[in-house]
């Protein structure tokens, strides 16, 4: 990965990043002058400059940049009298050279293996993350119902990843419980918060004596010692008689309404309802009184139970209280009935079983109350304890998935450890090779071979007016020399612009394969940036410069990544053609990237197809045809014409012929005003002059197209014009 992000510099927008993917071995970038190419090379030349503070380059491999641009030319030649020598290996000791070459080859193998191992390690680490993701997914799905019931304890852990991390942080414990039990505990605990309640106690109830029970079960009869009492018992009217005695007031019998002896009748009744009879009724009456008090107490108890915070209509305790209350009321009524008719035999209502059940329920209820109050008084600590139990329970549910995760991670880690051990061994071997190579290089490095190569390349290019020489062998410095001029002569300033570019570029090319210090020859993991090595003033060197880049940088693998920027289409095409066999089914050569920088309000970058770029020249002509056919605004006409002239006549090596033709046409039409301006202005180079001679008024496209065609007629290239424009031989007049 190698990615450059540009923001807020020159023509680049201040509010967004423009990204350039430079990960391929070669990245070829096309853009017209002013589109923003120089910003890219400028960043790599001086990335620490304040203007690049919002820009960044990211790559795990690149540690060194080598940049050819205008700043490089100015720094190395225009503002310096001498240039640092470039060290290359001397040929004096072939054995040492062979050893260095062997070391470099072995080092390259080690580097490739190390890179492969690191990729495998990164892949294994990625697989670890996949295993973790699967584990997180599995435990999240497995605990879906449990988490729903216990969600109050999962704040901050309710999504898959956070729940996984919570489980990872929870140690496996011996807690054995169920989700239902924990849910019940939480319900009790949450109900207890801030709620202290009182216990309830059954009021004391009457315990019937055996005598009272016996009296209830047997008839209570009056004495039968007199003739009258015997008669009453015989007819079974003792209870009726006893009740009627309260109505004796005068000499009239309350039973038959006849006159009778009141005194004698009263004596008979007293003898019949004797003391024993009255004692029995007294015992029954006392029991009834106590039962009546019990009914009142139980009614109050029922009210208190019904209004208790822990009781509702369906509570068992309330049902039992009502049952006991009803039983006591029945028992009371039985005693009252017995007192009214003592001769009846009544089996008393048994309430002991209901009382026993109620007491058991009250005991359980009070146990719950005491637990509630304990929880309320220690709510914080109890919640923490319960939370720990919840986490331990969930962790135990997830344990099978963690076991499987650990098994898989363990296998992967073993594979990673094996590779890491190999990485350590290879890295140590690589360092040993580096140390040995640096020692040999320091003994053999020399700057003279580079001088010879640069001068030889100058001669091959037909440049013989100057050369590079060694200025100071001890200081390892170069300088330019022209003939026998004195040492202080400013040779570089006297060169043409094309010569300045070429000599600077040759020096740069050698620095890419050599080194500025004896100890650091051929640094690895570097990025080389070449910005517009061909200008309109050095068109004659297109093929030679492209060949040098291919041979000395790309093919020689002088850097991990090479970035080439140009505004020159023919140079772009030549570099592309030098890449090797171009395949129709590919957008770019193998391990190459093609990009285009375009500028509207701001600069931007887009991918480019090599097939599309090879037809760019035809696209310029298509623009002219679109203007002619009124498909495009005429405002683009003039600059498009200048680009066509520059590309075509540079490629055909007819620059001088074009210049002569334009001067001739300008002179020929010197009286025509705008025609004279047209031919003189079109003679400017498009990269250095972006002015447009058209006024803001209406542009007569037909007249300018006629004038443009005359340029090709003047240079004997009319057939080319007609072919590109799809027109016939006829040439309309251009007069006013």
Q: For 13-42, how does the pLDDT look when each residue is reduced to its tens digit (9 = 90+)?
A: 999 999 999 999 999 998 877 788 999 999
Question: Is-above-0.85 flag for pTM?
Answer: no
Encode burial over 553-579: b for 16+ CB neighbours within 10 A, e otherwise.
Answer: bbeeebbbbbbbbbbbbbbbbbbbebb
Q: Are 259 and 286 within one domain?
A: no
Cα→Cα distances 217→232, 335, 343, 349, 509, Å: 22, 11, 10, 11, 131
Band (pLDDT 50/70/90 cuts) for residue 73 is confident
- Could you tell me which of 511, 523, 547 has the C-alpha nearest to residue 67? 511
Q: Which two tokens stand for residue 362?
A: 């009250």
735 within some domain: no
The dihedral built from the CA positions of residue 177, 180, 185 and 186, taken in this order, carries a sign that is positive
Q: Are 659 and 689 within one domain?
A: yes
The H-assigned helical ranges of 218-315 are 227-235, 238-244, 262-272, 275-306
Residue 11 pLDDT more than 80? Answer: yes
* Cα–Cα distance measured from residue 77 to residue 689, given in angstroms and rounded to the nearest whole number: 26
Residue 507 contacts residue 2 (beta carbons within 8 Å): no
Q: For residue 256, give the 3-state DSSP assignment.
A: coil
Angle at 705 between CA 700 and CA 706, to 5 degrees: 100
* Cα–Cα distance measured from residue 188 to residue 368, given in angstroms and rounded to the nearest whole number: 9
Band (pLDDT 50/70/90 cuts) for residue 62 is confident
Q: Which helix (H) or strand (E) holds 139?
A: helix 94-142
Q: Are 308 and 326 within one domain?
A: yes
Residue 695 pLDDT more than 50? Answer: no
Encode burial over 602-632: b for 16+ CB neighbours within 10 A, e otherwise.
Answer: bbbbeebebeebeebbeebbbbbeebbeeeb
Indicate the residue among 579, 613, 647 that finishes a domain. 613
Which of the two residues, 572 and 96, has the higher pLDDT score? 572
The dihedral built from the CA positions of residue 615, 619, 622 and 626, taken in this order, carries a sign that is positive
Which of the two residues, 260 and 493, has the higher pLDDT score? 493
For the chain, give the mean pLDDT.
80
How many Cβ atoms from other residues are within 10 Å of residue 250's Cβ? 8
291 within some domain: yes
pLDDT-wise least confident of 325-334, 529-538, 551-560, 669-678? 669-678
Residue 276 pLDDT more than 80? Answer: no
- Could you tell me which of 627, 505, 650 has the C-alpha nearest to residue 569? 650
Q: Are 327 and 258 within one domain?
A: no
- Could you tell me which of 82, 26, 68 has the C-alpha nearest to residue 490? 82
Residue 724 pLDDT more than 60? Answer: yes
Q: Are 454 and 597 within one domain?
A: yes
Residue 400 pLDDT more than 50? Answer: yes
Q: Which two tokens stand for residue 107?
A: 């080092």
Counting Cα atoms < 13 Å in the Cβ hemisphere of 247 gives 11
* Cα–Cα distance measured from residue 571 to residue 616, given in angstroms and rounded to the nearest whole number: 13
Count: domains in the chain: 4
Residue 514 pLDDT more than 70? Answer: no
442 within some domain: no
The H-assigned helical ranges of 6-93 are 37-45, 70-73
What per-residue confidence (pLDDT) applies to 567? 82
Q: Are 575 and 518 within one domain?
A: yes
For residue 505, give the CATH number of its domain.
3.40.50.300
* Cα–Cα distance measured from residue 586 to residue 576, given in angstroms and rounded to the nearest whole number: 13
- Could you tell me which of 100, 61, 107 has the C-alpha nearest to residue 428? 107
Indicate the residue among 287, 316, 350 that finishes a domain. 350
pLDDT of 445-461, one tens digit each?
Answer: 555 666 777 777 777 77
Residue 288 contacts residue 335 (beta carbons within 8 Å): yes
| 391-411: average pLDDT | 94
pLDDT-wise least confident of 429-438, 528-537, 538-547? 538-547
What per-residue confidence (pLDDT) applies to 125? 93
How many Cβ atoms from other residues are within 10 Å of residue 719's Cβ? 11
Range of the domain at 635: 615-725
Q: Are 663 and 590 within one domain?
A: no
551 within some domain: yes
- Could you tell me which of 509, 510, 515 has the C-alpha nearest to residue 441? 515
Q: Which two tokens stand for residue 587?
A: 């957008």
367 within some domain: no
Angle at 155 between CA 154 and CA 161, to 5 degrees: 75
Q: Are 479 and 597 within one domain?
A: yes
Which are the contacts of 62, defined by CB distance < 8 A and separation ≥ 6? 2, 525, 526, 527, 560, 561
The H-assigned helical ranges of 307-351 are 316-340
Cα→Cα distances 203→165, 198, 352, Å: 56, 15, 14
| 712-736: average pLDDT | 77
190 within some domain: no
Residue 522 contacts residue 100 (beta carbons within 8 Å): no
Q: Are 539 and 679 within one domain?
A: no
pLDDT of 179-220, one tens digit each?
Answer: 999 999 999 888 888 889 899 999 998 888 888 888 888 887
23 within some domain: yes
Residue 222 pLDDT more than 80? Answer: no
Q: Are 463 and 573 within one domain?
A: yes
- What DSSP character marks residue 76? I
What per-residue confidence (pLDDT) applies to 78? 57
Q: Are 339 and 228 within one domain?
A: no
Burial environment of residue 29 by CB neighbours within 10 A (0 to 12, 13 to 18, 19 or more): buried
* Cα–Cα distance measured from residue 191 to residue 301, given in angstroms and rounded to the nearest whole number: 24
26 within some domain: yes
* Cα–Cα distance measured from residue 702 to residue 634, given in angstroms and rounded to the nearest whole number: 10
Q: Which two tokens stand for residue 543?
A: 């093929």
Q: Which two tokens stand for residue 166?
A: 């919570």
Residue 687 pLDDT more than 50? Answer: no
Which are the contacts of 150, defined by CB distance < 8 A and separation ≥ 6? 179, 182, 183, 186, 390, 394
Indicate the residue among 293, 317, 350 that finishes a domain. 350
Q: Are 564 and 679 within one domain?
A: no
What per-residue confidence (pLDDT) applies to 707? 86
Band (pLDDT 50/70/90 cuts) for residue 142 is very high
């Amino acid at each position: 990965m190698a990615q450059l992000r540009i923001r807020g510099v020159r023509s680049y927008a201040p509010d967004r990043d423009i990204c350039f993917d430079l990960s391929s071995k070669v990245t070829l970038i096309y853009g017209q002058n002013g589109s923003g190419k120089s910003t890219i090379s400028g960043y790599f030349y001086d990335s620490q400059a304040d203007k690049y503070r919002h820009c960044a380059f990211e790559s795990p491999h690149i540690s060194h940049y080598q940049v050819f641009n205008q700043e490089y030319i100015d720094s190395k030649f225009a503002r310096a009298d001498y240039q640092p020598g470039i060290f290359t290996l001397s040929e004096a000791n072939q054995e040492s050279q062979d050893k260095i070459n062997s070391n470099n080859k072995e080092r390259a193998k080690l580097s490739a293996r190390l890179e492969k191992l690191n990729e495998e390690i990164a892949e294994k680490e990625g697989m670890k993350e996949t295993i973790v993701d699967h584990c997180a997914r599995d435990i999240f799905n497995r605990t879906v119902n449990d988490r729903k019931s216990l969600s109050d304890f999962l704040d901050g852990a309710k999504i898959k990843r956070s729940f996984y991390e919570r489980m990872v942080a929870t140690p496996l414990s011996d807690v054995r419980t169920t989700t239902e039990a924990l849910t019940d505990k939480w319900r009790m605990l949450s109900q207890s918060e801030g709620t202290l309640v009182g216990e309830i106690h059954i009021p004391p109830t009457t315990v019937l004596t055996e005598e009272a029970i016996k009296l209830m079960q047997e008839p209570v009869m009056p004495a039968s010692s007199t003739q009258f009492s015997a008669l009453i018992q015989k007819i079974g009217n003792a209870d009726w008689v006893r009740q009627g005695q309260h109505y004796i007031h005068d000499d009239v019998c309350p039973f038959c309404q006849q006159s009778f002896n009141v005194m004698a009748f009263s004596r008979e009744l007293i003898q019949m309802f004797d003391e024993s009879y009255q004692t029995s009724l007294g015992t029954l009456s006392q029991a009834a009184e106590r039962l009546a008090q019990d009914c009142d107490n139980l009614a109050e108890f029922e009210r208190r139970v019904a209004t208790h915070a822990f009781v509702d209509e369906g509570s068992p305790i309330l049902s039992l209280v009502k049952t006991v209350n009803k039983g006591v009321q029945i028992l009371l009524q039985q005693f009252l009935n017995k007192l009214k008719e003592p001769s009846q035999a009544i089996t008393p209502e048994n309430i002991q079983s209901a009382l026993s059940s109620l007491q058991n329920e009250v005991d359980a209820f009070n146990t719950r109350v005491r637990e509630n109050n304990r929880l309320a008084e220690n709510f914080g600590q109890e919640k923490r304890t319960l939370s720990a139990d919840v986490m331990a329970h969930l962790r135990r549910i997830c344990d099978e998935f963690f076991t499987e995760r650990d098994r898989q991670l363990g296998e992967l880690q073993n594979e990673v450890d094996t590779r890491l051990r190999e990485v350590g061994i290879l890295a140590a071997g690589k360092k040993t090779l580096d140390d040995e190579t640096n020692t040999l290089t320091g003994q053999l490095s020399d700057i003279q071979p580079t001088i010879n190569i640069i001068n030889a390349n100058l001669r091959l290019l037909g440049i013989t007016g100057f050369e590079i020489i060694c200025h100071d062998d001890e200081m390892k410095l170069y300088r330019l020399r022209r003939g026998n001029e004195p040492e202080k002569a400013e040779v570089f300033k006297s060169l043409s612009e094309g010569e300045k570019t070429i000599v600077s570029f040759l020096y740069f090319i050698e620095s890419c394969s050599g080194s500025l210090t004896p100890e650091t020859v051929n640094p690895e993991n570097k990025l080389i940036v070449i910005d517009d090595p061909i200008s309109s003033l050095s068109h004659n060197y297109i093929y030679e410069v492209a060949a040098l880049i291919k041979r000395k940088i790309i093919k020689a693998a002088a850097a991990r990544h090479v970035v080439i920027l140009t505004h020159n289409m023919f140079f772009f095409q030549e570099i592309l053609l030098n890449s090797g066999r171009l395949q129709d089914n590919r957008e770019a050569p193998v391990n190459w990237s093609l990009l285009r920088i375009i500028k509207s309000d701001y600069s931007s970058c887009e991918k480019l197809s090599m097939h599309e770029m090879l037809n760019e020249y035809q696209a310029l002509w298509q623009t002219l045809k679109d203007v002619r056919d009124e498909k495009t605004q005429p405002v683009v006409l003039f600059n498009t014409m200048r680009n066509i002239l520059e590309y075509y006549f540079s490629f055909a090596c007819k620059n001088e012929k074009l210049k002569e033709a334009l001067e001739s046409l300008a002179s020929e039409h010197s009286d025509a005003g705008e025609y004279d301006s047209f031919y003189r202005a079109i003679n400017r180079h498009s990269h250095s002059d972006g002015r447009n001679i058209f006024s803001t008024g209406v542009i007569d496209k037909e007249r300018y197209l006629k004038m443009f065609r005359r340029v090709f007629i003047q240079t004997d290239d009319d057939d080319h014009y007609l072919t590109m424009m799809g027109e016939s031989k006829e040439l309309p007049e251009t007069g006013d």
